Amino acid sequence: MELADKIVLLTGGSAGIGREIARQLQAKGAKVTLTGRNPERLAAMREEGFETIEADFSSAAGVDALLKKWGSKDIDILLNNAGQLVDHDFREGDPDADAADDCIYTNLNAPIRLISALMPQLRARPQAAIVNITSGLAIAPAARTPIYCATKSGLRFYTLGLREQLKDSNIRVIEALPPVVDTQMNDGKPTKKMPPEECARQIVVAIAQDQDEANIGLTKALRIAESISPALARSMTLRF
């Protein structure tokens, strides 16, 4: 896909991987509108020339508010990057059920709702793409964050099904599976972390080259292990 002049809606684009994706798409001539929850970060992105929309995807009302603001505008690429991480560990007390609900809606329900609502506009374009950011944790889950892992696994399987449905259409369905990336979400983790700029670069390459998947960093090893044995991939959880 030629990225110049493509109209992009990028969720969660004011920090971390999303911010770097926005910058790299902009550098290739794409017209990027990004969402976020932090007004100061959004203001900083506007200073860089981006259109921004403040949006909270932890409920249907938040998603619908974004869709109302977007309206009937054209869209070539929908990039579902917004996500929440919540600990859900009974070894350390009773987890917060409301926080789990927010995580589930943000990471899984919201992308599905956005895709469903924007499908007519995507179908109307000569060439379009839906890009869902999942995680290596969709393959090898971490015990401390089972809610996050479950949502990313759910989005992964939704993406696989959607790709099959749209295989003969104008819409390319792409999944990006990042490893642990050096973002605010992963502050304090002792594991080796990929720079967000490199993770974003590989995602943008996958979009430009019409790849079905971007298996990034250590996720490549997980995908190889999964192809041999799902149990082998899951056994790599602690190392991942």
Share of the chain above pLDDT 90, in %: 80
Q: Are 88 and 150 in contact (CB under 8 A)?
A: no
The pLDDT, as a whole number, for residue 104 is 98
Give the pLDDT mean for 52-74: 97
Separation of alpha carbons 240 and 235, rounded Å: 10
- Report helix, strand or coil for 175: strand
Indicate the pairing of strand 31-36 with strand 128-133: unpaired
Separation of alpha carbons 172 and 195, rounded Å: 27
Residues 149-203 have pLDDT tens digits of: 999 999 999 999 999 999 999 999 999 999 887 676 655 565 677 899 999 999 9
Residue 148 among the catalytic residues: yes
- In which band, very low, low, confident or very high, does the pLDDT at 60 lie, cut at 50, 70 and 90? very high
- In which band, very low, low, confident or very high, does the pLDDT at 217 lie, cut at 50, 70 and 90? confident
The pLDDT, as a whole number, for residue 240 is 39
The pLDDT, as a whole number, for residue 119 is 98
Residue partners of 100: CB distance under 8 A and separation at least 6: 86, 88, 147
Residues 83-132 have pLDDT tens digits of: 999 999 999 999 999 999 999 999 999 999 999 999 999 999 999 999 99
Q: Catalytic residue, from 50, 148, 158, 240: name it.
A: 148
A 10 A CB-CB count for 153 gives 18
The pLDDT, as a whole number, for residue 238 is 43
Walk across the sheet containing 213-215 and list its strands: 51-54, 31-36, 7-10, 77-80, 128-133, 171-177, 213-215
The pTM for the full model equals 0.90
Residues 4-15 have pLDDT tens digits of: 999 999 999 999
The pLDDT, as a whole number, for residue 224 is 64
Among 67, 109, 102, 108, residue whose Cα is nearest residue 88: 102
